[in-house]
Structure formats: structure tokens, C-alpha cells
């Protein structure tokens, strides 16, 4: 009979490989992390009050329908070329180069039709171009 108690060796945990792996992971994370907060451009955006809309006495309204037809100050144009639109804009711009071109485009109008209005404005020497939108449901119910 064996009455001696078996001597138990305490298991030994070697922490050195564990620490090595954690340091490698830490270095990897430090090198691959992007610090986007420091690379962003700091901007202060302007605030617009939609209830106090400015009235442009020198504005020129250009409407673009869903099929690409143009109207300058509610007068429809016969063609759809940029040259015809540029000459109509130049003729309707009573304030000269200070005229603001307001583009009223249908929501389903082609992108090219709006770009044609912008190109015609540039050809007519009108550099101030803006877009008109409808207010959302919340803004319209005020």
C-alpha cells in the first residue's frame, strides 16, 4: 500500500509569450489606427433663416421641366441648346453681371438639363447661380 500523498507540482504559467503577443498587437493597432479627428478640415457652416427669405430684385428665374424644356422668367424657349439659352439669359439679365440666376428644376429633370443651364449662365457672363427648392413637410406646415 502506498500511503504517501502524491506530491503535486503547481502548474507554472509562463507570461512572457503572452506579454510579447500583447505588445505586438498594441504596436499593430497604434500603427494602423487613423486619427481622423486631426485630419478633418474645421469648418463653421453658415446659418440660414428660411422664414426670412431675401428678395432678389435682380433675379432671373430659369425653369427646367421634367422633359428638359426651358423657360426664362416664365417665357418658354423654342429650343434646348445652350447657345439659345445663353442668348435668352443675356437678353433677360437687366442688371448685367449682378443678376442672380435661380434654377427651378423639376425633381425628375435630367442632370444634363441643369448643367446646360449652368453652362449657358457662364456663357452669358452670369456667375451667380443658385437653386430653388421646395420646403419639406415640416417647414411648409409652419
CATH code (residue 94) = 3.30.420.270
Helices (H), the chain: 16-32, 36-39, 82-92, 111-123, 137-140
Largest Cα span, the chain: 120
Q: How many domains does the chain have?
A: 1
The tens digit of pLDDT for each residue in 17-62 reads 999 999 999 999 888 876 655 544 554 555 555 555 555 568 888 9
Q: Residue 101 belongs to what domain range?
A: 59-135
Indicate whether 35 belongs to any domain: no
| pLDDT at position 51 | 53
Amino acid at each position: 500500500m502506498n500511503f504517501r500523498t502524491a506530491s503535486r507540482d503547481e502548474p507554472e504559467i509562463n507570461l512572457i509569450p503572452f506579454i510579447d503577443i500583447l505588445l505586438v498587437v498594441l504596436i499593430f493597432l497604434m500603427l494602423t489606427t487613423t486619427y481622423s479627428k486631426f485630419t478633418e478640415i474645421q469648418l463653421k457652416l453658415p446659418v440660414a433663416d428660411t422664414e426670412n427669405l431675401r428678395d432678389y430684385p435682380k433675379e432671373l428665374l430659369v425653369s427646367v421641366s421634367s422633359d428638359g424644356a426651358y423657360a426664362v422668367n416664365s417665357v418658354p424657349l423654342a429650343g434646348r441648346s445652350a447657345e439659345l439659352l445663353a442668348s435668352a439669359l443675356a437678353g433677360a439679365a437687366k442688371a448685367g453681371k449682378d443678376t442672380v440666376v435661380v434654377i427651378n428644376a423639376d425633381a425628375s429633370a435630367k442632370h444634363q438639363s441643369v448643367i446646360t443651364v449652368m453652362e449657358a449662365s457662364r456663357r452669358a457672363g452670369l456667375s451667380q447661380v443658385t437653386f430653388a427648392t421646395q420646403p419639406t413637410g415640416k417647414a411648409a406646415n409652419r
